Amino acid sequence: MRRYKLFLNGEFVESSSGKMIKVINPANEEVISEVPEATIEETKKAIDAAYEAQKKWEKLPAIERAKYLKKIADGIRKNAKMLTEILMEEQGKIRSLAETEINFTTDYIDYMAEWARRIEGEIIPSDKPNENIFLYKAPIGVVAGILPWNFPFFLIARKMAPALITGNTIVVKPSSDTPNNAFEFAKIVAESDLPKGVFNLITGRGSVVGEELASNPKVGMVSFTGSVEAGSKIMALASKNITKVSLELGGKAPAIVMDDANIDDAVKYIKQSRVINTGQVCNCAERVYVHEKVADEFIEKMTIAMEDTKYGVPLKETNIEMGPLINKNALESVKGFVKRAIDQGAKLLTGGEDSKFEKGYYYKATVLANCTQDMEIIQKEVFGPVLPIVTFKDLDQAIEYANDCEYGLTSSIYTQNLDVMMRAANEIKFGETYVNRENFEAMQGFHAGWRKSGIGGDDGKHGLEEFLNTHVLYIQYNTNKK
310: how many CB neighbours lie within 10 A of its CB? 13
The set of residues, in sequence order, having a beta carbon less than 8 Å from that of 158 and lying 6+ positions away, is: 108, 225, 458, 459
Catalytic option among 42, 184, 248, 465: 248
> How many angstroms from the chain centroid is the CA of residue 121?
29
- Cβ atoms of 169 and 163 within 8 Å: the answer is yes
Q: Within 13 Å of residue 354, how many CA atoms lie on the same side as its CB?
A: 23
Q: Which amino acid is it at 261?
A: A
Q: Return the closest-CA partner of residue 409 out of 380, 374, 452, 378.
A: 452
Query: Rounded to whole angstroms, how far apart are CA atoms 119 and 466?
Result: 12
Query: Rounded to whole angstroms, how far apart are CA atoms 57 and 169?
Result: 8
Q: Return the closest-CA partner of residue 351 out of 288, 414, 274, 262.
A: 274
Q: Return the closest-CA partner of residue 408 out of 438, 391, 389, 428.
A: 428
* Catalytic-residue membership of 248: yes
The set of residues, in sequence order, having a beta carbon less than 8 Å from that of 482 and lying 6+ positions away, is: none
Query: Rounded to whole angstroms, how far apart are CA atoms 152 and 109?
Result: 15
Q: Return the closest-CA partner of residue 402 out of 370, 434, 356.
A: 434
Active site (catalytic) residues: 248
